[in-house]
Structure 1
């Protein structure tokens, strides 16, 4: 019989006040859902992670448990609010959950990075196998070398992109000239200007991608400078050491409108509807952040949760599963992550017709679960 229980996982303190809720902060716990078959002894646990999404109710949990493994969906300390998220703290949360599962008797852990969890899963596994990080990108002490991280036995990138900073930069609107005036736009770098496409020429795409990196790095330089100024002001006395800010234009990837770029079975658009609307609406990706969170989560050069960079050092077997109709995690993402693995214990699986959330296709979600359980061995 399948059962579901809520797991309270002891939370490793992060050292900073970056969770608004005192109830959450002082509880000393993060939470996960465990689905299992009570007729089976503890054995393999499949842990599904994301930096900020609430995976307690993840669609794959019951399907996985029905195939004989325990299935766990994690909610990190930043669940539902990534405005002050520090990726290195998310690594601590994954580590605490894996340790808790070991204590419950699960001797085999399969770590699944789903969607934006891909970069987190890769970073976790790399640090668990060979820990090196002692500070956040902002320079705050956070010692993963002393955290006792337990490596997962296998890793799965499921409908995943390589990391939030990567996909964010690929969607960052380079036509925004002034960070405070999002509609003061550079027509030469505006994918929404019909003069530029779609279809978009190779020359425009190259110029556009360069502009996206430039904008990300301008924001990063400003964040680093401002953190330094705050430290100087606070020297010798109390004062704020972080500030919130807004980023306009974060859903402007040319692939959203030009299906010939990174060809697949997807339809035009984003996970949040029209690209032009999603580019500015608050509920889409990464509009509200802080100086420190920007460096850890969204900075292309400073964020460590980048599967392209982390997977080459991972020794555990890695499977990459992607959908041919996904409009968020593209075929090039899947291929890039697969190619980044430097050993032969790797597998690349395409699920034909699957979009990012398997909308209307529970049969395809079930196929993904079949692949994960088979990979779990």
Structure 2
């Protein structure tokens, strides 16, 4: 019989107020759901992670547990709200979860980065094997070299893209030239202007991708300037410490403008046109789609193309653990080039690339394909 247990995992202390809820902060806990088959005594725990998604009810947990492992869906401290998310703190949360699972007696931990968890899981494993980070990209202390991170025994990129900053930049709308006026647009860089496509020509796509990176870097430069300006508004408190704001929120418009959403010849696959949030033009501005509200410090850690460290293309090169990359041929968020790029980044031969034909990002209407993914995760023996 399958049973579900809620794990209360001690949360590593953060360096700043980045969780709105006092209840969550003062509890000192992050949470995970553990599923297992009572008729067996699993020795392997499969830990599924994402920076901000609520994985307590992850679709793969029951299927994994039926295959004789303890299946664990983790929520980081930023569950449901990534506006102030710092990736390095998410690494600490995964570290706490891995340590907790070891304390429960699990001899092997398989770390699964799902969707936006791909870049985070790769960063965790790289830092657990070779810790180097002592501060966030904004300069806040977060010493991963002293965190005693335990490396996972195996690493899985499941329906994953290489990192939030990468996929975010691939969807950043370069037609927006004034960050406060999203509908004053440069028609020469507008994928929604029918004069440009679809289908999009190679020249347009090259200029488009360059302009996306340039916009991301402009925002990063502005963020760095804002952080410097904030320093001038801080005041000396009674005890000599500086007080006052050291972070601010801001809005980013136009984050669902990847040409792959409307042109299926770009990074060809079995996917259908559109985004995970519906029509691309609508999703491009919809508050609930990707990364429209962020803080200055979170931008540098989470969304900056040049500053964010959660990049599987870079991190996997330094990972010694076996790596499995599983992707769906009909996925409209994590594309074939993402999977192949991550597979190619692994520098050893204990790696495997698996395509699940017909699977979309959430296995909607195809539970048998989700079962196939779980089979690959549990049965894979590098």
TM-score using structure 2 length? 0.98
Match of 1:207 in 2: 207
Q: Identify the residue that residue 361 of structure 1 maps to in structure 2.
A: 366
Question: Would the aligned equivalents of 1:154 and 1:376 in 2 still touch at CA under 8 Å?
Answer: no
Q: Distance in 2 between matches of 1:331 and 1:273?
A: 20
Distance in 2, Cα, partners of 1:316 & 1:233: 46
- Aligned partner of 2:226 in structure 1 is 226
Contact kept in structure 2, 1:196 and 1:204, CA below 8 Å = yes
Distance 1:37 1:201 in 2: 53
Corresponding residue for residue 37 of structure 1: 37
Q: Secondary structure at the match of 1:136?
A: coil
Give the structure 1 partner of residue 138 of structure 2.
138
**Cα deviation digits, residues 44-98 of structure 1 (max 9, x gap):** 0000000000000000000000000000000100000000000000000000000
Distance 2:114 2:42 in 1: 24
Provide the residue aligned with 2:377 in structure 1.
372
Tell me the SS of whatever aligns to 1:350: strand
1:28 aligns with 2:36: no
SS of the aligned residue for 2:15 comes to coil
Instruction: Write the distance in 1 (CA, Å) between the matches of 2:148 and 2:191.
Output: 46
Instruction: Please state whether the residue corresponding to 2:243 is helix, strand or coil.
Output: coil
1:284 Cα offset (Å): 0.3
Matches within 5 A, 1:240-279: 240-279=245-284
Displacement of 1:228 in angstroms is 1.3
Q: Aligned-pair distance for 1:15?
A: 1.1
Q: Does 1:107 align with 2:107?
A: yes
CA contact (8 A) 2:261 2:274 kept: yes
Q: Does 1:350 align with 2:355?
A: yes
Alpha-carbon shift at residue 375 of structure 1 (Å): 1.9
Equivalent position of 1:286 in the other structure: 291
Instruction: Work out the CA distance in 2 between the residues paired with 1:329 and 1:171.
Output: 12
Equivalenced residue count is 377
**Residue 58 of structure 1 aligns to a residue in which SS?**
coil
Distance in 1 (CA, whole Å) between partners of 2:268 and 2:163 is 21
Hey, what's the Cα distance between the residues in 2 that align with 1:299 and 1:98? 27
The 3-state SS of whatever aligns with 1:360 is coil
Q: Aligned partners of 2:69, 2:142: CA distance in 1, in Å?
A: 33
CA–CA distance in structure 1, aligned partners of residues 155 and 10 of structure 2: 23
> 1:1-20 alignment to 2 at 5 Å?
1-20=1-20
The question of whether the paired residues in 1 share the 8 Å contact of 2:271 and 2:332 is answered with yes
The 1-side partners of 2:104 and 2:94 are apart by 15
SS at match of 1:184: coil
Question: Which whole-Å CA distance do the structure 2 matches of 1:334 and 1:262 have between them?
Answer: 11
Deviations 1:99-140 (A, max 9, x none): 000000001000000000000000000000000000000000
Please give the secondary structure, in 2, of the residue aligned with 1:139.
Answer: coil
Q: Which residue of 1 aligns with 2:334?
A: 329
1:49 aligns with 2:54: no
Please give the alpha-carbon distance, in whole angstroms, between the structure 2 residues aligned to 1:96 and 1:220. 30
1:232, distance to aligned residue in structure 2 (A): 2.9
Gaps in structure 2 of 5+ consecutive residues: 237-241
What residue number does 2:196 align with? 196
Question: Any conservation in 1 of the 2:42–2:68 contact (CA below 8 Å)?
Answer: no
What is the distance in 2 between the residues matched to 1:56 and 1:232? 43
Match of 1:301 among 306, 316, 324: 306
Q: Distance in 2 between matches of 1:224 and 1:87?
A: 18
**RMSD between superposed Cα atoms in Å:** 0.8
CA contact 1:170–1:253 (8 Å) conserved in 2: yes
Q: Secondary structure at the match of 1:30?
A: strand
- Structure 1 gaps of 5+ residues are none
CA distance in 1, matches of 2:127, 2:158: 20
2:239 matched residue in structure 1? none
CA shift for structure 1 position 235: 5.3
CA offset digits 1:314-356 (Å, max 9, x no partner):
0000000000000000000000000000000000000000000
